Amino acid sequence: MKNTIRIERAVKNITQAELAEQVGVSRQTIHSIESNKYIPSTVLAIKIARIFSKPLESIFILEDGD
């Protein structure tokens, strides 16, 4: 699963640490999600989408084989 978190953070001008604090996880978790090394829980994915005021599907994109 791909995601656009890094792009959305740049648009909103917030750091990984700031996003992590807003959704209640570590900065390392945000880094792992952005690097496609970790797939967030449904609850975390929804929280992230809400921070950016975007639909979940516009932040997290399923790839073939997912």
Q: What is the mean pLDDT of the chain?
A: 97
Per-residue pLDDT tens over the stretch 11-42:
999 999 999 999 999 999 999 999 999 999 99
| Predicted pLDDT at 23 | 98
Longest dimension (CA), the chain: 32
Q: Tokens representing 1?
A: 């699963």
DSSP tag of 52: T
Average pLDDT over residues 52-64: 96
pTM of the model: 0.93
What sign does the CA torsion over 48, 51, 55, 59 have? Answer: negative
- The pLDDT value given to residue 66: 85
